[in-house]
Amino acid sequence: MADASNPVPLAYQATAAGGQSPDWLNKGDNAWQLTASTLVGLQCVPGLVILYGSIVKKKWAINSAFMSFYAFACVLICWVTWAFKMSFGEELIPIWGKAGPALGQKYLLKQAFLPATAVGEAAAFAPLYPQATVVYFQFVFAAITLILIAGSLLGRMNFIAWMLFVPLWLTFSYTIGAFSLWGGGFLFQWGVIDYAGGYVIHLSSGVAGYVAAYWVGPRLESERRSFPPNNVLLTMAGAGLLWLGWNGFNGGAPYASNVVASMAVLNTNICAATSLLVWTSIDVIVFKKPSVIGAVQGMITGLVAITPSAGISEQGKNTEPKFSSSCAHGHPTPSDRFTKSPQKGSTKVLPLAAMVSELEPLGSRISMGISVGDRIFVMIMSGGVVQGWAAMVIGVLSGSIPWYTMMILGRKPGGIFSKVDDTLGVFHTHAVAGSLGGILAGFFAQPTLCNLFLPIQGEHGAVYGGEKGGQQLGKQICAALFIIGWNVVVTSIICLVIKLIVPLRMSDKQLQVGDDAAHGEEAYALWGDGEKFDASKHSGTEYKEMELASTKV
């Protein structure tokens, strides 16, 4: 409600000098970005907390859920204290940003901007909302990456070692991938495509989880042979939160509430559904019965594979008008023809005739073109990759290739995958599916879109042939190799350093007991189970050192 002295409604007062909203703020974009952030956060807590706590053996429910719960909180504090600016701040070296806090009001309430990108006003690099929104949005992406790694380590990792692993891996691995691909680092400047984290999140977590599983060591041999879920219905509930939360994962990646967000959400769901059906169908053909756990795995691989290429949006301009924050905003292109020059306020402008000529080859791929004042807005779908048919193609591949690596290669006696105890098969569901999605982006990259979207000109996907037909594909493969190599080396170093401080793996006696040994708590206090151990201060009893019951399984 406004008063006579200040006509601005109370909801929008005190947000800028004079009690008015800043002219750069797009309230619709800001509202959607915060909603998308919350959806991704719900994937972590309670989504993966529920999924992990229910998909493991009963005696590991507490430990598995708590690994996710702890990681979410730990990543947030590290993120705002130093890691956000290492990922999205000023460049320190081509793979890393300068560390620093993201806590001050002056910094958080100004318009968001990623300084190392040097590509002007594109919504992904200078969004129309406060820096605080970007800090939180990128935090939930970082948090889910660490939680995904935990999926490889369930059922045996020393929780104290996990408490040390989370901040170390966030600092020395995640920030490298995020800055290199998203924050303006060398892979970004080279033109590698990673729309919403196929490499930064999924390939990184899959490889790091596998490497960490190698160093931590395996579960008990009996549990590697038999590790039944303690509650399949809750597993489905957690998977449902993960699936719908992905609407924020890919729908928030355009950094704006636009038509591309809508297309990304739809294609995300198409790919997930296709992948689930393919995985389930293969289970029926090969094993003669459908599996709920298999369906969940297929759903996840579909969501992961579509992530690098779910949707993209651009905007061109023909003049240099000012723009009211109440109008609808599109995305200025990061191409050098549209970016700001180093002199503040100056802009390189593409004439309207040239803009029309540049967009003409897209034909029906132009999903919407509107004129507001003296600006032209063009929303573009990213060629074949974001079309519905392409989402289905990716879904077919993501439901079959990871199935083969997990169910055939992963179970082959003496095979490479059988030597490492990756509890939930995160390498297959995230590393294989994430790299598959990133490489497919190199196949389907549309030529005109590449000219508009990438920082360099003349690139296109392999399916379009020509002299540069394979360059984008080659870049996608090189980026994948960089992420794999970095995570193998850095994750190994982190594990070896932690091993000097505390054991990475619980003792065999602790592994025989489970949650009671690790936390003094049980998930299901049924038939007196919860009364067998007097080991938790939080149950109202005095803590006593206990003899681990080696007979409990």
Q: How many CA atoms lie within 13 A of 77 on its CB side?
A: 7
**Could you give the C-alpha distances from 367 to 381, 389, 540, in angstroms and in order?**
7, 16, 62
Q: How many CA atoms lie within 13 A of 135 on its CB side?
A: 27
Say which CATH topology domain 40-313+383-463+476-499 has: Ammonium transporter fold (1.10.3430)
> In the chain, what is the greatest distance between 2 CA atoms, to the nearest angstrom?
81
Q: Which three-class secondary structure state does DSSP give residue 91? A: strand
Q: What sign results for the dihedral spanned by CA atoms 286, 290, 296, 301?
A: positive
The confidence score (pLDDT) of residue 174 equals: 98
- The residues, any chain, with a CB within 8 Å of residue 374's CB and separated by 6 or more, are 318, 319, 321
The confidence score (pLDDT) of residue 418 equals: 84
The confidence score (pLDDT) of residue 322 equals: 34
Contact in structure between 213 and 421 (CB atoms under 8 Å): yes
Give, rounded to a whole angstrom, the gap between the first and last alpha carbons of the chain: 63
Number of neighbours of residue 429 by Cβ within 10 angstroms: 30
Look up residue 504 and give its two tokens. 């990475």
Contact in structure between 271 and 348 (CB atoms under 8 Å): no
Per-residue pLDDT tens listing for the chain (553 residues): 445 555 555 555 555 555 567 888 999 999 999 999 999 999 999 999 999 999 999 999 999 999 999 999 999 999 999 999 999 999 999 999 999 999 999 999 999 888 877 655 555 566 889 999 999 999 999 999 999 999 999 999 999 999 999 999 999 999 999 999 999 899 998 888 887 888 999 999 999 999 999 999 999 999 999 999 999 999 999 999 999 999 999 999 888 888 778 888 999 999 999 999 999 999 999 999 999 999 999 999 999 999 886 654 333 333 333 333 333 333 333 333 333 333 333 333 343 334 334 444 444 333 333 333 333 333 333 323 346 788 898 999 999 999 999 999 988 887 788 889 999 999 999 999 999 988 888 887 766 656 655 667 777 777 777 766 678 888 999 999 999 999 999 999 999 999 999 999 999 999 999 999 999 988 887 655 544 544 445 444 444 444 444 344 4
The confidence score (pLDDT) of residue 385 equals: 38
Closest CA to 252 of 22, 24, 25, 31: 31
Give the residue extent of every domain in the chain: 40-313+383-463+476-499, 507-553
The rounded distance, in Å, linking the Cα atoms of 183 and 176 is 9
The rounded distance, in Å, linking the Cα atoms of 330 and 123 is 8
What secondary structure does DSSP assign to 439-456, as a single string? Answer: HHHHHH--HHHHHHHSSS
The confidence score (pLDDT) of residue 366 equals: 38
**Could you give the C-alpha distances from 337 to 10, 45, 329, in angstroms and in order?**
41, 42, 19
Look up residue 439 and give its two tokens. 């490489």
The rounded distance, in Å, linking the Cα atoms of 424 and 184 is 33
The confidence score (pLDDT) of residue 289 equals: 95
The confidence score (pLDDT) of residue 473 equals: 86
The confidence score (pLDDT) of residue 349 equals: 37
Place of tokens 């897209």: 362
Q: What sign results for the dihedral spanned by CA atoms 186, 358, 379, 242?
A: negative
The confidence score (pLDDT) of residue 13 equals: 52
Number of neighbours of residue 94 by Cβ within 10 angstroms: 15
The rounded distance, in Å, linking the Cα atoms of 329 and 351 is 20
| Helices within 307-369 (DSSP H only) | 352-359
- The residues, any chain, with a CB within 8 Å of residue 170's CB and separated by 6 or more, are 75, 78, 79, 83, 142, 146
* Residue 369 dihedral angles phi and psi, to the nearest 5°: -135, 125
Q: Which three-class secondary structure state does DSSP give residue 357? A: helix
The rounded distance, in Å, linking the Cα atoms of 193 and 452 is 13
Print burial letters for 486-521: b (CB count within 10 Å at least 16), e (below 16): bbeebbeebbeebeeeeebbbeeebbbbbbbbbebb
